[in-house]
Amino acid sequence: MTPVVIFSGIQPTGRKHLGNYIGAIIQYVAGQDRADPAIYCIVDLHAVTVPYEPADLRERTLDTAAILIASGLDPDRCILFRQADVAEHTELAWLLSSVTPLGELNRMHQFRDKSAAQRELVSAGLLYYPVLMAADVLAYRAHEVPVGEDQREHLELMRRAAERFNRRFGDLLVVPEARIPSVGARVADLQDPTRKMSTTGSSEQGTVYVLDDPETIRRKFKRAVADSGREIVRREDKPGISNLIEIMAVATDTSPEAIEAQFEGSGYGDFKSAVAEAVVDWLAPVRERYEALRSDEAELERILDGGAGKARELAVATLTEVRDAMGVGPTRSVGSAP
Encode pLDDT of 219-257 as tens digits: 999 999 988 888 899 998 899 999 999 999 999 999 999
Letter string b/e over residues 37-70, b meaning 16 or more CB atoms within 10 A of that residue's CB: bbbbbbbbbbbebbeeeeeeeeebbbbbbbbbbb
| Furthest CA-CA distance within the chain | 72
Indicate if the pLDDT at residue 338 is higher than 60: no
pLDDT at position 201 is: 65
Residues 167, 148: Cα–Cα separation, whole Å = 29
Q: Are 47 and 229 in contact (CB under 8 A)?
A: no
φ, ψ for residue 36, nearest 5 deg: -150, 90
Q: For residue 291, what are the CA distances in angstroms to 66, 211, 295?
A: 8, 10, 6
Side-chain-side CA neighbours of 120 within 13 Å: the count stands at 4
Give the pLDDT score at 1: 63
Residue 285 pLDDT grade (very low, low, confident, very high; cuts 50, 70, 90): very high
Domain spans in the chain, listed from the N-terminal domain onward: 4-179+297-326, 214-292
φ/ψ of residue 88, rounded to 5: -60, -25
Closest CA to 5 of 124, 139, 119, 141: 141
3-class secondary-structure state, position 146: strand
Q: What SS3 class is residue 30?
A: helix
What is the residue type of 34?
A: R
Query: In this structure, how many other beta carbons lie within 10 angstroms of the beta carbon of residue 178?
Result: 18
Q: What does the alpha-carbon distance between residue 46 and residue 318 come to, in Å, rounded to a whole number? A: 21
Q: CATH says 214-292 is which class?
A: mainly alpha
pTM of the model: 0.89
Closest CA to 283 of 74, 72, 75: 72
Indicate the pairing of strand 35-42 with strand 144-146. unpaired
Residue 131 has phi, psi (to 5 degrees) of -70, -40
Does the pLDDT of residue 279 top 90, yes or no? Answer: yes
Return the higher-pLDDT residue of 24 and 69: 69
How much is the pLDDT for 322?
96
| CATH fit for domain 4-179+297-326, picks 3.40.50.720, 1.10.3720.10, 3.40.50.620, 2.40.50.140 | 3.40.50.620
